[in-house]
Amino acid sequence: MKKRIMLVALGLLGSVCLTTSNVSAQTKGLHRLTSHWVNQHAKTQNNINRYYRLNQNTKSGPFKGSKVILPKGTIVSGSIINDSASKTHNAFVNGQTGLSYALKKRVGMKKPWTQLVFWQTYMLSRYPRVKKPAFMPALGEGVFYTGGVKSFTNMAKRYKSSSSALRLTSDGYVEFYQHRNQPLITTYYETFAYNQKPISYAKINHTLVKGSKTYLYYSHNLKGVNDQKVRKSGAYKYRLTIHNLHTPYRYTIHYDTAYGSMYTIGGNHFYSMPLKSENSGE
């Protein structure tokens, strides 16, 4: 067996539960956490997002499906994972990228509303690590679900989620997904579910971060969110304000624990999931 180092797109690997020894010991119900605790736990569980740039045009796609060419300069999120079972230093890019609907449509993906899978040889010179894009949060997928603490609690209780979703992509788009028949979150309530195309999207042309607020600027109104027209025309015509309230929560039910962090976006309540759900394995 050859040693493999895999670049795996964070948050887009489907429903993966982390096994912990203390989940079942936690008090059931809703509990406030500190941002410091969440950040430290993310480091322990290796949940910190990392970003890599494609330094050449890169062919990607499913094993038995049609592949597409991702353009040079595309940014993907991921992490390098060592495979201890192998003995050499060969490596592969393996995972599902959090790229925009617009990019996947532009490169000719047959179903651009679905996930795009990587599986190819990995070389550091081809995929150098880069600084986190200013518009992306440090934790989570960059997906925000409509509703505040109550919506998060209902989701964590395994009620069917009826939230719509705002999504930031690693290649620089903001997208809005309207809730329809199927929830926009996977069965284990921890990752975004690709089951439809966004009702609106815009290329992020500028980002301004001031304290707990992130301001996104783009050229046209984004349907589904309460953005502001701040210029008469141009690339910075509209602005969307994402306010991190720094109020993370944990909800434990039976042997599962979900995590949520509260935001306002355009003045409306949203929540994100900074950490993956945990399961005691029982």
CA dihedral sign, ordered 94, 76, 42, 182: negative
Burial class of 165 by CB neighbour count within 10 A (0 to 12, 13 to 18, 19+): buried
Q: What is the reported pLDDT for 209?
A: 97
* 62-47-76-168 Cα dihedral, nearest 10 degrees: 100
Q: What is the reported pLDDT for 67?
A: 86
∠ CA 34-40-46, nearest 5°, is: 135
- Alpha-carbon span 74 to 69, nearest angstrom: 11
- Alpha-carbon span 237 to 249, nearest angstrom: 35
Locus of tokens 């300069």: 73
Largest CA distance in the chain: 60
pLDDT tens, per residue, the chain with 282 residues: 433 433 433 333 333 333 334 444 568 899 999 999 999 998 888 777 888 899 999 888 776 677 899 999 999 887 666 555 554 444 455 566 789 999 999 999 988 998 887 766 677 888 888 999 999 998 988 999 999 999 999 888 877 788 999 999 999 999 999 998 888 888 766 788 888 899 999 999 999 999 999 999 999 999 999 999 999 999 999 999 999 999 999 999 877 899 999 999 999 999 999 998 887 544
- Counting Cα atoms < 13 Å in the Cβ hemisphere of 200 gives 17
Q: What is the reported pLDDT for 268?
A: 97
